[in-house]
């Protein structure tokens, strides 16, 4: 009987320990204000002479938090000083690629597919991924000041 009680206690302690360990090492989550993103080094601004209102910014973004973050290019917003959202694109890549499916097939693509072409990325703590943003400044509008990632923010260099 004593052995049974001891075994039960050991089992509970083990499960508790696993739960605690799990709490200390959670899975990825969306970027938040407590999971800041930073440019790894100063990104490069590419200007396109034939598109004078368009900008391309390419570099690497680092996860400065203690948690992994999941990022999705469709949810990236480029915001100007007045809080307006600019027409923009984002890719977690520094080179062109395209998916395997023509648009006409209306396939979203699996996580593997989306990750490989830079539509989504997971950044573990202290690690970085390539990021290229582009945006169009509206006529008479101002340059953007930040990129928003599901509540997280990334300052854009001026």
Q: How far is residue 110 CA from its own chain's centroid?
A: 17
What is the smallest separation between the CB atom of 21 and other proteins, expressed in angstroms?
26
Cβ atoms of residues 121 and 71 within 8 Å: yes
What is the smallest separation between the CB atom of 24 and other proteins, expressed in angstroms?
27
DSSP one-letter code for 8: H
Pick the closer one to other proteins by CB: 35 or 71: 71
- Distance of alpha carbon 29 from alpha carbon 35, whole angstroms: 9
Pick the closer one to other proteins by CB: 35 or 121: 121
What is the smallest separation between the CB atom of 25 and other proteins, expressed in angstroms?
22
Q: Which residues pair with 149 in a beta bridge?
A: 76, 152
Pick the closer one to other proteins by CB: 6 or 107: 107
Pick the closer one to other proteins by CB: 12 or 46: 46
HSE-up of 102 (CA within 13 Å, CB side)?
2
Residues that bind other proteins (CB under 8 A): 44, 46, 48, 50-51, 54-56, 58, 73, 86-91, 93-98, 100-105, 107-110, 112-113, 116-118, 132, 134-136
Cβ atoms of residues 56 and 46 within 8 Å: yes
């Amino acid at each position: 009987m004593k052995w049974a009680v001891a075994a039960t206690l050991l089992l509970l302690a083990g499960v508790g320990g696993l739960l605690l360990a799990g709490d200390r090492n959670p899975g990825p989550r969306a970027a938040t204000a407590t999971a800041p993103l930073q440019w790894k080094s100063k990104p490069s601004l590419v200007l396109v002479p034939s598109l004078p209102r368009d900008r391309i910014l390419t570099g690497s973004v680092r996860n400065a938090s203690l948690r992994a973050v999941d990022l999705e290019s469709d949810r990236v917003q480029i915001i100007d000083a007045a809080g307006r959202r600019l027409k923009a694109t984002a890719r977690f890549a520094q080179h062109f690629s395209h998916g395997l499916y023509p648009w006409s097939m209306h396939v979203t693509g699996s996580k593997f597919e989306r990750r490989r072409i830079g539509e989504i990325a997971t950044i573990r703590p202290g690690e970085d991924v390539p990021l290229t943003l582009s945006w169009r400044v509206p006529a008479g509008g101002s340059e953007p000041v930040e990129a928003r990632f599901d509540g997280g923010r990334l300052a854009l260099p001026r």
